[in-house]
Amino acid sequence: MDFIKIDKEKWQRKKVFELYSKDVPCTYSMTINLDITDLKNKIEIKQLKFFPVILYGLSKFVNKYKEFRMDLNEDGEIGYYDKINPIFTVFEEAQEQFYQVWTKYDDDFEVFYQNYLLDMKNYQQQEIKSSKLLLEKNVFNVSCVPWVSFTGFNLNLAKGYDYYLPIFTIGKYFEQGEKILLPLAIQVHHGVCDGFHLSRFINDLQEWLDKTAEI
């Protein structure tokens, strides 16, 4: 993992970054419904697990755009990771609580999928009370609320104005007409990610979901 520090004096986004990080600190969230109709059919045909497929899709486009890999280093300087991995919540029914596991991202879907399965084999046990050891900071958060569909979702972080990585929350998919839709809430920092960047991410993700032959 490499952290690429940005030279703010040469950064074309310097004024926008300072505006939304110092003058008017601002994070925002957007909730959308992804069309997973074709994808769900493909998953059932190939007998794949649903969550890691969606997790791969999120990871694929987070790693495509540096706006979704931005963070502060130990000295408080802005930059971005060359590669980032998803860290996600796993529900423990006996305790009715969550713990976290992260999976190493790989561009190759099959490699990523096997990484996920191995992590679940090692950590998805009720006697496991601790999360998988976090080796580096290059992770972005994904959580899932599979019990309910939602039209809006917002996180309130005590130190949110210093948190630049995206946070994804997945809801329960539902049928609408002939489509199957998946609620997805995305929270980002306005200092590094504008509506343009978020819209591009969403559109690319939806296009990938429509191309089910890629998994």
What CA–CA distances, in Å, run from 88 to 102, 155, 176?
A: 6, 16, 28
* Nearest-10 crossing angle of helices 109-123, 50-64: 120
Side-chain half-sphere exposure of 199, counting CA atoms within 13 A:
3
Of the candidates 190, 198, 209, 212, the residue annotated as catalytic is 190
Beta strands in 97-203 (DSSP E): 97-102, 139-144, 167-170, 174-176, 179-189
- Between CA 146 and CA 165 the distance in angstroms is 23
* Tokens describing residue 211: 């191309």
Assess whether 197 carries a catalytic annotation. Answer: no
Which residues does the annotation mark as catalytic?
A: 190
